[in-house]
Copies of this chain bind each other. A is one copy, B any other.
Amino acid sequence: MPTYKAPLREYRFLLRDTFNIEQYSALPGFKDAPLDVVDQILDEAAKLAEDVLQPLNQIGDREGCKLENGVVTTPKGFKEAYKTLVEGGWPALVADPAYGGQGLPNALGVIFNEMVSSANMAFGMYPGLSHGAYSALLHHGTDEQRKTYLPKLVSGEWTGTMNLTEPQCGTDLGLLRTKAVPQADGSYKITGTKIFISAGEHDLAENILHLVLARVEGAPAGIKGISLFLVPKFLVKEDGTLGARNGVSCGALEHKMGIHGNATAVLNYDEATGWLVGEREKGMRAMFTMMNEARLGVGLQGLSQSEVAYQNALAYAKDRLQGRSLTGAKEPAKPADPIIVHPDVRRMLLDAKSFNEGARALLVWTALHGDLSHASGDAQVRETGDDMMALLTPVVKGYLTDRGFANAVESQQVYGGHGYIEENGVSQFVRDARIAMIYEGANGIQALDLVGRKLAANGGRGVFAFFKLIDDFIAANKDDKLAPFTAPLAAARKDLEAATTWFMENALQNPDNAGAGSVDYLHLFGITSVAYMWALMAKAALAKLSTGDDKAFYETKLKTARYFVERILPETATHLLRIRNGAAPLMAFSQDDF
Report A's interface with B, CB cutoff 8 A.
165, 168-172, 174-175, 195-196, 254-258, 314, 318, 321-323, 326-327, 335-336, 338, 340, 342-350, 353, 405, 409, 412-413, 416-417, 419-423, 427, 430-431, 434-435, 437-439, 442-444, 447-448, 510-512, 514-516, 518-519, 552, 555-556, 559, 562-563, 566-567, 570-571, 573-574, 577-578, 581, 583, 585-589, 591-594
Contacts and interface: CB of A to CB of B under 8 A. Distances in A.
B345 A196 contact: no
Nearest to A350: B586
A293 B430 CA distance: 30
A467 to B, nearest CB: 23
Given A347-B586, A586-B347, A255 B421 contact: yes
A158 B250 CA distance: 50
A585 B573 contact: no
A196 B587 CA distance: 45
A431 B518 CA distance: 27
Contacts of A586: 343, 346-347, 350, 563, 567
B416 A347 contact: no
A570 B563 contact: no
A71 to B, nearest CB: 22
Nearest to A346: B586
22 contacts: A170-B322, A172-B323, A172-B336, A175-B336, A195-B417, A256-B422, A343-B518, A343-B583, A344-B447, A344-B516, A344-B518, A344-B519, A346-B586, A347-B516, A350-B586, A431-B431, A552-B592, A563-B585, A567-B585, A570-B573, A570-B574, A574-B574
Contacts of A587: 343, 346
A442 B412 CA distance: 11
- The secondary-structure label for the interface of chain A is helix
Contacts of A350: 585-586, 589, 594
Nearest to A572: B574
Given A417-B170, A419-B438, A594 B563 contact: no
A516 to B, nearest CB: 4
Contact of A567 (B427, B442, B512, B581): B581
B552 A593 contact: yes
Nearest to A347: B586
Contact of A349 (B416, B516, B577, B594): B594
Contacts of A409: 405, 434
A326 B512 CA distance: 6
Contact of A566 (B515, B581, B593): B581
A344 B448 contact: yes
A559 to B, nearest CB: 5
A257 B416 contact: no
A165 B574 contact: no
B346 A519 contact: no
A413 B443 contact: yes
Contacts of A258: 420
A236 B453 CA distance: 72
Given A512-B327, A567-B581, A420 B256 contact: yes
Contacts of A591: 318, 338, 340
Contacts of A559: 585, 588-589, 593
Nearest to A515: B343
A511 B327 contact: yes
Nearest first, the 9 A-B pairs at minimum CB distance are: A343-B515, A570-B577, A326-B511, A343-B516, A344-B444, A257-B427, A566-B581, A172-B322, A346-B586
Nearest to A594: B314
Contacts of A336: 172, 174-175
A419 B257 CA distance: 9
Given A514-B326, A516-B343, A562 B578 contact: no
A230 B556 CA distance: 51
Nearest to A447: B344
Contacts of A420: 254, 256-258, 434-435, 438
A594 B430 contact: no
Contact of A417 (B165, B175, B405, B421): B165
